[in-house]
């Protein structure tokens, strides 16, 4: 089955593009477009396809910069604890980013649904989060939206950080951090940034309290 219509479209033999995938259901929507679950035709592997309308992206230079940084960071930081970029291509009207499909959802959902988690589970997630942050810091990348919403779980229950809200850093300092995220974590983020977060463990203090609070209130 091809990507458009009922008639199959042979995959492009020269490069990976939309003809190499089968589009499944829409699993999310964003400011510039939507996210589809997809399968790669030659392997059957389940992936996620972020589709962005060029018209929307080109409305302002800040939008274009945001998309470009997201693509660059995702391709720069290869780690089993980050949502890495698998493929990137474009059509006449859209930009496409292909990523691993995270079937487990985000940690905010699980914290809300479960209310509590064992200390061992909280430590497991915290350790994988720190390894993801370490992979970013090794590439001089500063993550600026650290919260459970951006911690995704794969089909095996392993954690990956959604790295869309990251910046390349000349200095990992406060002036390079965009103050975003839930108000719940701003106090802990302030602690993590004073002095600047030179280690993943220090940066992780902005979200660890949520894990530990849920682990100890049951």
Active-site hit among 17, 42, 145, 149:
145
* Cα distance between residue 117 and residue 119, in whole Å: 6
Which residue, among 195, 102, 185, has the nearest Cα to 146 in the 3D structure?
Answer: 185
98: left (phi > 0), else alpha (psi -120 to 50), else beta? beta
Q: Contact, 108 vs 155, CB < 8 A?
A: no
Q: Tell me the per-residue pLDDT of 165-183, one tens digit each, with 9 for 90 and over.
A: 555 554 434 333 333 344 4
Please tell me the predicted confidence (pLDDT) of residue 203: 55
Q: Which residue has the higher pLDDT, 33 or 211?
A: 33
Task: Respond yes or no: is residue 145 known to be catalytic.
Answer: yes
Please tell me the predicted confidence (pLDDT) of residue 179: 36
* Cα distance between residue 47 and residue 176, in whole Å: 32
This prediction has a pTM of 0.71
* Cα distance between residue 203 and residue 126, in whole Å: 12
Please tell me the predicted confidence (pLDDT) of residue 185: 43
Lowest-confidence range among 16-30, 41-55, 76-90, 190-204? 190-204
* Two tokens, residue 61: 């230079």
Q: Contact, 37 vs 27, CB < 8 A?
A: yes
Band (93; pLDDT cuts 50, 70, 90): very high
User: Domains in the chain and their CATH numbers?
Assistant: 18-100 (3.30.200.20), 105-216 (1.10.510.10)
Lowest-confidence range among 26-35, 90-99, 157-166, 208-217? 208-217
Please tell me the predicted confidence (pLDDT) of residue 178: 38
Average pLDDT over residues 141-166: 81
Residue 1: pLDDT over 50: no
Please tell me the predicted confidence (pLDDT) of residue 171: 40
Q: Contact, 48 vs 27, CB < 8 A?
A: yes
Please tell me the predicted confidence (pLDDT) of residue 108: 86
- Indicate the average pLDDT of the chain: 76
Please tell me the predicted confidence (pLDDT) of residue 204: 57
Please tell me the predicted confidence (pLDDT) of residue 215: 52
Q: Tell me the per-residue pLDDT of 94-123, one tens digit each, with 9 for 90 and over.
A: 999 999 999 998 888 888 888 778 888 888
Average pLDDT over residues 72-101: 90
Q: Contact, 145 vs 133, CB < 8 A?
A: no
């Amino acid at each position: 089955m091809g990507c458009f219509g009922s008639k199959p479209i042979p995959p492009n033999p020269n490069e990976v593009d939309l003809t190499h995938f089968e589009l499944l259901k829409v699993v999310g929507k964003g400011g510039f477009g939507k996210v589809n679950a997809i399968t790669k035709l030659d392997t059957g592997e389940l992936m996620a396809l972020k589709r962005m309308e060029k018209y929307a992206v080109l409305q302002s230079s800040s939008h274009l910069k945001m998309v470009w940084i997201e693509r660059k960071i995702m391709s720069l930081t290869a780690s089993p604890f980050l949502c890495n970029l698998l493929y990137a291509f474009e059509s006449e009207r859209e930009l496409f980013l292909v990523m691993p499909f995270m079937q487990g959802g985000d940690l905010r959902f699980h914290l809300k649904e479960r209310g509590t988690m064992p200390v061992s589970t909280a430590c497991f997630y915290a350790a994988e989060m720190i390894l993801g942050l370490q992979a970013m810091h090794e590439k001089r990348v500063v993550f600026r939206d650290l919260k459970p919403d951006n911690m995704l779980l794969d089909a095996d229950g392993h954690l990956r950080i959604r790295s869309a809200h990251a910046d390349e850093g000349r200095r990992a300092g406060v002036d390079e951090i965009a103050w975003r995220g839930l108000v719940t974590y701003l106090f802990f983020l302030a602690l993590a940034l004073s002095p600047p977060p030179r280690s993943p463990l220090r940066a992780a203090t902005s979200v660890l309290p949520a894990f530990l609070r849920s682990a100890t209130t049951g």
